[in-house]
Amino acid sequence: MKSASRTIPRYFSDKPTARYICPECKDGQLVPLKDSFEFEEPKYSKQAHGLEEWDPDWIDYRFIFKSVCNNEACGEVAIATGSGSVDQRYDSEHEAEYYERFQIQSFFPAPYLIEIPEATPLEVRELIEKSFTLFWPDLGAASNALRASLEVLLDKLKLPRTMIDKKDKEQRLSLHRRLEIWGEKEKEHADLCLALKEVGNLGSHGDDVQPKHYAGVLKIFSHVLFQLFENNAEEMKKLAASIQKDIKAKKK
């Protein structure tokens, strides 16, 4: 599956080009204003060029650029900042050349990295939005916030958080156990969310999360939320009915 390995663009060379979902209207896209892109090399980095052992990969840059929502009625303005370095690539003649490579480290307001259905409970949405904010500086923390949003989703679905053990004591249920309980009723959704739990666990233990895994579980989570909170079947029925109505009206 091609989309499973798709990552969310966090790096760029030369100038920013990627577009992201506007967090304000969720309809338009944040488009980078190329002229707003500025980068500079701080003094400490420039000074190091004089050292004998200096190498181009010591170079540190700082950058900023502005993105504006292309939905005219919205026009949200978001600011991205980050760091850069110099890397080598091969041109069409197979000659090595140096180029600037940048990594976005913060984005405000943070773009939506995936669509979330309108009817998603607010607490779940807020944690997903927190995850979108954390994605830029800290992928592990972003995965952890996503895992927390899954816990809250299970609360909303009235799945127990605790159980009474043999000694009559209340014990907290692990997320894994809660998913198993959910799976007794809705196996398909619960099984999909196991992947989210795995990635979230890596985040909470401080282990490295791979960007493609984060992007993958976001996609899965969005799919599950749409299944749970947006009645697509109803919408499709309405769409079909409106098309038929339109066609009939034209025939008259």
Q: Is 129 in the site for Zn ion (CB under 5 A)?
A: no
Q: Is 103 in the site for Zn ion (CB under 5 A)?
A: no
- # chain residues binding Zn ion, by CB under 5 A: 8
Interface with Zn ion by CB under 5 A: which range of 38-46, 67-75, 132-140, 238-246? 67-75
Q: Is 87 in the site for Zn ion (CB under 5 A)?
A: no
Mapped to the 3 state alphabet, what secondary structure does 147-179 carry?
HHHHHHHHHHCCCCCEEECCCCCEEECCHHHHH
DSSP code, position 230: -
Whether 196 contacts 150, CB under 8 Å: yes
Q: Which CA distances in Å does 91 have to 68, 94, 95, 96, 97?
A: 32, 5, 5, 7, 7
Q: Is 69 in the site for Zn ion (CB under 5 A)?
A: yes
Nearest distance in Å: CB 81, Zn ion: 20
Nearest distance in Å: CB 209, Zn ion: 28
Give CA–CA dist 89/98, Å, rounded: 6
User: Considering Cα of 142, then 132, then 9, then 61, what sign does the dihedral take?
Assistant: negative
Stretch 16-55: interaction string toward Zn ion, x if CB under 5 A: ------x-xx--x---------------------------
Q: Is 77 in the site for Zn ion (CB under 5 A)?
A: no
Which residues bind to Zn ion, rule: CB under 5 A?
A: 22, 24-25, 28, 69, 71, 74, 76
